[in-house]
Amino acid sequence: MPWGCFIPRKWRFHNVLWALIILEFPLTVANLTLFGVASPNLYRTILWSEGGKMGFNSDPKTVLYAYANYRPVKIPVVWSNFNTQYNLVIGVLCMFFYLVKSTLFLMHIFYPIVSLPLHAALLSLWAVSIRIQTSPDTIDPKRINNGPPWFITKSCNIVQDKTIRAYCMQAKSAFAVSVIMLTIYALYLLLTLISLYPTQSARLAHQSRLAEKRAEKEKYAAFDAAASSSPEHGMSPEQQWQHMWELQQLPRTPGTAGGLKSPTTPRTRAWRDLGGEGVMPAMPPPPQPQSPMPRMERVERTEKMENPYQGGFWAQQQQQMQQGRHEEEVVVEQQSPYRTNAEYYGEQEKARGLGVY
């Protein structure tokens, strides 16, 4: 990136900027208060008439005489309603932009490049305000005033009436606040221009940030190149969707042994079918209920287990161990309380023959 395109984002005199922001708020409130009280016409015509009596400017009656004689005349801007309303409107605008730029400043995004057009426009508005408040009054040839009005250039003590004197001081205060606001925005603009001029250290820091961003982009470009070499790269969206659908149709992972699913994969099933082990019975046999052991048989078996040395039992055990047999053969005749399968199926066949079912 060339040096000329670099735009700094940091303020150079940060403490001065803080001071201007803090000082601007009470002055903006004072401007709104003074011109809000003066609107629409609290003392403007009174001061105009008082200046005409003392010969400092024209008189409001001059306009009436001109209209009576059918002579076109224009009210001086300094005594018009436009003067008060204009200053009131720019006071509201300044308060709005103050809240906006204070928020941006606290969020660290109020850059000098943003401040440049904002304060240049506000400075122009206040310059026009000063020009309006100091415009001349030349509609009366006998009392021509080419400078600011009398309440700005002269002391208010020349007026005997206390009410008019208070109005004079209020108008003088409004003009003073306007001048201070113009000065504040001029300082804002000057500080902005100083901050926009890049120093050597700021340029080096900017170049280092650009190098870091370039390295990061190269790293992500390498990742994209690796991803583009995958089989799915180059597929249309429809082909990718078809591929994902085919993957979802594959059988799921089999369950564990003893669970609801048998751990059988297609390959294992094929091998079992080839080996002849995959033939399933037509109908599994009915479950056989476990018959409880009669109490007499349990007692007899317990007695046999507790007395292994009685009779020829020990000799029989020695003979079985020599032959390699390790199981105890206990023959117990059990009488099941349930019917056998033969009896059950025989009754079923008999019932079908009789036509019961």
Supply the DSSP symbol for 340: P
**Token pair 């309440």 in the structure block, residue:** 151
Model confidence over 165-205: pLDDT tens digits? 999 999 999 999 999 999 999 999 999 999 998 877 777 77
C-alpha distances (whole Å) from 99 to each of 21, 22, 30, 106, 119 are: 10, 12, 16, 11, 14
Model confidence over 217-231: pLDDT tens digits? 877 777 666 666 655
Model pLDDT, residue 88: 95
Closest CA to 136 of 190, 189, 98, 79: 79
Residues 251-258: contacts with CB under 8 Å, at least 24 apart: none
Model confidence over 143-155: pLDDT tens digits? 899 999 999 999 9
Please report the DSSP string for 169-202 in residue order.
HHHHHHHHHHHHHHHHHHHHHHHHHHHHS--HHH
Model pLDDT, residue 209: 76
Cis peptide before 40 (omega within 30 of 0): yes
**Residue extents of the structural domains in the chain:** 9-197
More confident residue, 297 or 128: 128
C-alpha distances (whole Å) from 182 to each of 91, 127, 179, 192 are: 12, 7, 5, 15
Is residue 157 over pLDDT 50?
Answer: yes
Is residue 298 over pLDDT 70?
Answer: no
Closest CA to 119 of 48, 183, 52, 51: 183
What is the Cα–Cα distance from 84 to 318, expressed in whole angstroms? Answer: 129
What is the Cα–Cα distance from 75 to 60, expressed in whole angstroms? Answer: 9
What is the Cα–Cα distance from 172 to 149, expressed in whole angstroms? Answer: 10
Question: Phi/psi at 263 (nearest 5 deg)?
Answer: -75, 70
What is the Cα–Cα distance from 308 to 86, expressed in whole angstroms? Answer: 123
Closest CA to 118 of 104, 108, 130, 131: 104
Kindly give the residue spans of alpha helices, DSSP state H, lying in the chain.
Answer: 14-38, 44-53, 60-68, 81-106, 112-133, 150-153, 162-196, 200-228, 237-248, 266-274, 295-306, 313-323, 341-354
Closest CA to 198 of 350, 1, 11: 11
334: left (phi over 0), alpha (psi -120 to 50) or beta: beta
The pTM assigned to this predicted structure is 0.59
